[in-house]
Amino acid sequence: MKRSKPAASNQRLWQKKGIWAAVILFLAACGGAAWYFLYGPQAVLAQSASKAAAAVNTTLVKKGDLSVTVSGSGVLEANRTVDLSFSTGGTVSDVHVQLGDMVKEGQVLARLDNASSLEANVVSLQLKLLQAQKDLTDLQQNADVSLAEAYQDWVTAKAAYQEAVAAQQRTAYARCSEEVNTRYKTQLDQASSRMNELAVHSLGTDAWVDAKNTYDTALANYTYCTTYTESEKIEAQAAVDVSKTKMDQAERKYNTLKSAAGIDPSQLALDEAAVETYRLQLIQAKEDLQGMTLTAPMDGKVVYLASGVGTIVDTSKFISIADVSRPQLIVSVDESDIDHFVLSSPASVIFDALPDQTFHGVITQVDPSLTSSGQYRILKGVLTLNTDAVRTVQNLPLGLNASVTIVYKEIKDALIIPVTALKKLNGEGYEVQLVDNDGTTRSQEVQIGLQDGTYAEVLSGLNEGDKIIAITGNSSSSPSSNPFTDGGMMMPGGGMPPPP
């Protein structure tokens, strides 16, 4: 029948579709196989690593010890070092020690040879001081005499002034008496008449010359008795001024002494200054003489010696003595650790030269300011070793380098948990995921104390034996990198912890 053709046609169509489906499935299988061989292993490994990174564990809250430390470096130094120098320059005549010798307090170390000039200077200053002290003593002991002399000087000066004033006043009047002046006037008139008479008929003759001389003498006598010259008046006034000044000075001196019990304050100051000046100069001269010999100021070790016998030296450092009975370390820490570098912190020390021995001490000094060391900024301090350490270290050479570990804080038998269990809250504080007895988890806020980077001290919120969730595997141990901080973490079996 003709109606059978459509059925055959449909059959061929389905056969073609089946072929294409088989081809597609074959290509898909080939592509899957190629992807597996090319990328499959890496993908599996990446998935496994991801699961390992996100792995978590439960841990119990336990008790333990916790400490925060600071690492630094140290250099062994003497507790005290004294530098000795000669008080004056000269030639070294004796040196009784060598570098590294142990010395006792008072032991003679070295000498100079030029003592004679210094000894003479000491004697000279002793004499000057004695004279200055005598002058001061005399001034103080003769106060009554000085006051009486000052009064007498004032009285004498006053009389001289009064006499000068009287003499100056007389220059305004005639020098001689009226009787003498009259006689000299008569002699002058007679001499004038005689000279004038001769001048009419005998001018130039010997008689006239004699008359002229008689006239000149009479005129001089009369002028001298009746007036004073200008120079005499000036001299008289000057005598008044000088005597007035002397009288005023004498009066002031007397009044000064009278108010100071007979001792002149200015002279007292000068005499006292002279005594003090010579006293200080004598002290220095004796020190210079004594400084020609260097003696040990304490028990210690010779750690510096400038030169030997026969060398010419000045006043610079010649010998250094170090007290090695209590050696200490100068400790340096980085500026990032200054908050943890505090006084009274215990510390342990390992010297580079003694790597198998650990010594102990305490921080006894922290410098108030930072210093530079190359490109770094550091803070320095002093570490005092304990008695047991000193017995060993005091025989070691100074300058040894050491590694220092300083304990900033330390607690014993505290509740501790891993820092990886902590989640930082938005505000302040932390929380953990607490696992209850039935296996369910819930958020628990905790108060945290000391942290050392691995463990944290629990002040409140948990009890010993509580079970909490902590990250393990490849996760960071820092609370800031804890996946809790990002809002959650994978739980065993693919679940998520309850929201906080």
> Is 241 a domain residue?
no
Q: What is the pLDDT of residues 267-284, one digit of tens each?
A: 889 999 999 999 999 998
Q: Which domain holds residue 487?
A: 57-65+411-494
Rounded to the nearest 10 degrees, what angle do helices 178-201 and 206-226 cross at?
Answer: 160
Q: Are residues 466 and 438 in the same domain?
A: yes
Q: How many domains, the chain?
A: 2
> Residue 43: is its pLDDT beyond 50?
no
Among 269, 304, 321, which residue terminates a domain? 321
pLDDT band at 260 (very low <50, low <70, confident <90, very high): confident
SS3 assignment for 342-356: CCCCEEEEEECCCCC
pLDDT at 472: 67
Nearest-10 crossing angle of helices 265-290, 116-141: 160
**Placement of tokens 């106060």 in the chain:** 143
Task: Evaluate if residue 76 carries a pLDDT over 60.
Answer: yes
Q: What is the pLDDT of residues 197-239, one digit of tens each?
A: 888 888 889 989 999 999 999 999 999 998 898 999 999 999 9
Identify the DSSP state of 205. S
Question: With 50 as the cut, is the pLDDT of residue 240 above it?
Answer: yes
Q: What phi, psi does 303 have (nearest 5°)?
A: -110, -5
Tell me, yes or no, whether 109 and 61 share the same domain: no
Tell whether 283 is covered by a domain: no
Domain boundary among 276, 303, 321: 321
Cα-only R_g, the chain? 58
pLDDT at 41: 47
Instruction: Give the residue-averaged pLDDT of 288-305.
Output: 90
3-state secondary structure of 91: strand
Specify the CATH number for the domain of residue 105.
2.40.50.100
- Rounded to two decimals, what is the model's pTM? 0.49
Residue 96 resides in a domain: yes
H/E element, 418: strand 401-418
The answer to whether 293 and 111 are in contact (CB under 8 A) is: yes
Task: Judge whether 223 lies within some domain.
Answer: no
pLDDT at 33 over 90: no
> Which H or E element spans position 145?
helix 143-170
In sequence order, the 6+-apart residues with CB closer than 8 A to the CB of 69 are 340, 405, 406, 407, 408
Q: Is 468 part of any domain? A: yes
pLDDT of the residue at 5? 40
Residue 439 counted as domain residue: yes
As a whole number, the mean pLDDT across the chain is 84
**Residues 61, 85 within the same domain:** no
Q: What is the pLDDT of residue 26?
A: 58
pLDDT digits (tens, 9 = 90+) for 336-345: 999 999 999 9
Quote the pLDDT of residue 32.
53
Domain boundary (304, 321, 338) is at 321
Same domain, 61 and 84: no
pLDDT single digits (tens) 342-369: 999 999 999 999 999 999 999 999 999 9
Percentage with pLDDT > 70 across the chain: 83
Specify whether the CB–CB gap between 404 and 349 falls below 8 A.
yes
CATH value at residue 439: 2.40.420.20
Q: Is 431 within the bounds of a domain? A: yes
Measured between its terminal Cα atoms, the distance across the chain in Å is 79
| Residue 470 within a domain | yes
Give the residue with greater pLDDT, 492 vs 315: 315
